[in-house]
Amino acid sequence: MYTLLLPLFLLLLLSTNTAAATTIGITYTPPSPTSRLPPPSLVAVALRRLSIPSVRLPGSDPATIRAFSYSNISLFLSIPNLFLPSIASNRSNALSWLSRHLVPFYPRAKITALSVGNDPLNAKTDLADCIIPAIRNVYIALHELGIRDIEVSTTFSFVSVMRGVFPPSGAEFVEPANGLIVKPLLQFLQETNSSFFVNIHPYHLFRMNKEIPVGFALFQENKFGFRDDSVTGVKYRNLFDMMVDAVVTAMTVAGHERIPVVVAETGWPSGGGGEIEANEVYAEMYLRGLLRHLRSGVGTPLRKEGVKEVYVYELFDKQNCRVLTGVDSQQWGVLYPNLTKKYDVEFGSAGKGQFGGVGVVRLAFVLVLVAAVVL
CA distances from 142 to 77, 89, 260 (A): 14, 16, 21
Q: Which is nearer to ligand NAG, 137 or 157 (CB)?
A: 137
Q: How far is the CB of 230 from ligand NAG (least distance, A)?
A: 37
Q: How far is the CB of 192 from ligand NAG (least distance, A)?
A: 5
Q: How far is the CB of 349 from ligand NAG (least distance, A)?
A: 8
Q: What are phi and psi of 215, to 5 degrees?
A: -60, -35
The contacts of residue 243 (CB under 8 Å, 6+ apart) are 158, 162, 165, 168, 200, 202, 205
Q: How far is the CB of 86 from ligand NAG (least distance, A)?
A: 9
Q: How far is the CB of 373 from ligand NAG (least distance, A)?
A: 27
Contact range with ligand NAG by CB under 6 A, out of 123-131, 202-210, 238-246, 336-344: 336-344
Binding mask 182-221 for ligand NAG (x = CB under 6 A): ----------xx----------------------------
Q: Does 16 sit near ligand NAG (CB under 6 A)? A: no
Q: Does 17 sit near ligand NAG (CB under 6 A)? A: no
The count of residues interacting with ligand NAG (CB under 6 A) is 9
Q: Which is nearer to ligand NAG, 241 or 317 (CB)?
A: 317
Q: How far is the CB of 72 from ligand NAG (least distance, A)?
A: 4
Question: What is the rounded radius of gyration, in angstroms, for the C-alpha atoms of the chain?
Answer: 22
In the chain, count H helices and then E strands.
16, 12
Contact range with ligand NAG by CB under 6 A, out of 31-39, 151-159, 199-207, 333-341: 333-341
Q: What is the DSSP letter of 319?
A: P
Instruction: Tell me the β-bridge partners of 196.
Output: 261
Other beta carbons less than 10 A from residue 74's beta carbon? 18
Nearest C-alpha neighbor of 77 from the set 45, 120, 104, 110 = 110
Contact range with ligand NAG by CB under 6 A, out of 32-40, 174-182, 273-281, 335-343: 335-343
Among 18, 92, 122, 296, binds ligand NAG (CB under 6 A): 92
Q: Does 340 sit near ligand NAG (CB under 6 A)? A: yes
Among 90, 99, 125, 296, binds ligand NAG (CB under 6 A): 90
Among 25, 31, 53, 167, binds ligand NAG (CB under 6 A): 53
CA–centroid distance for 105 within its chain: 22
Give SS3 for 334: coil
Q: How far is the CB of 309 from ligand NAG (least distance, A)?
A: 11
Q: Which alpha helices (DSSP H) does 254-356 contain, by range? A: 280-296, 322-325, 352-355
Q: Does 99 sit near ligand NAG (CB under 6 A)? A: no
Q: Are 304 and 257 in contact (CB under 8 A)?
A: no
d(C-alpha 371, C-alpha 145), whole Å: 55
CA–centroid distance for 304 within its chain: 18
Q: How far is the CB of 114 from ligand NAG (least distance, A)?
A: 15
Nearest C-alpha neighbor of 154 from the set 134, 174, 172 = 134
Q: Which is nearer to ligand NAG, 8 or 339 (CB)?
A: 339
Q: How far is the CB of 28 from ligand NAG (least distance, A)?
A: 17
Q: Which is nearer to ligand NAG, 90 or 209 (CB)?
A: 90
Question: On the CB side of 129, how many CA atoms lie within 13 Å of its CA?
Answer: 5
Q: Which is nearer to ligand NAG, 87 or 361 (CB)?
A: 87
DSSP track, 87-120: HHH-HHHHHHHHHHHTTTTTTTSEEEEEEEEESG
Among 3, 17, 325, 338, binds ligand NAG (CB under 6 A): 338
Judged by the rule CB under 6 A, the positions of this chain that interact with ligand NAG are: 53, 72, 90, 92, 192-193, 336, 338, 340
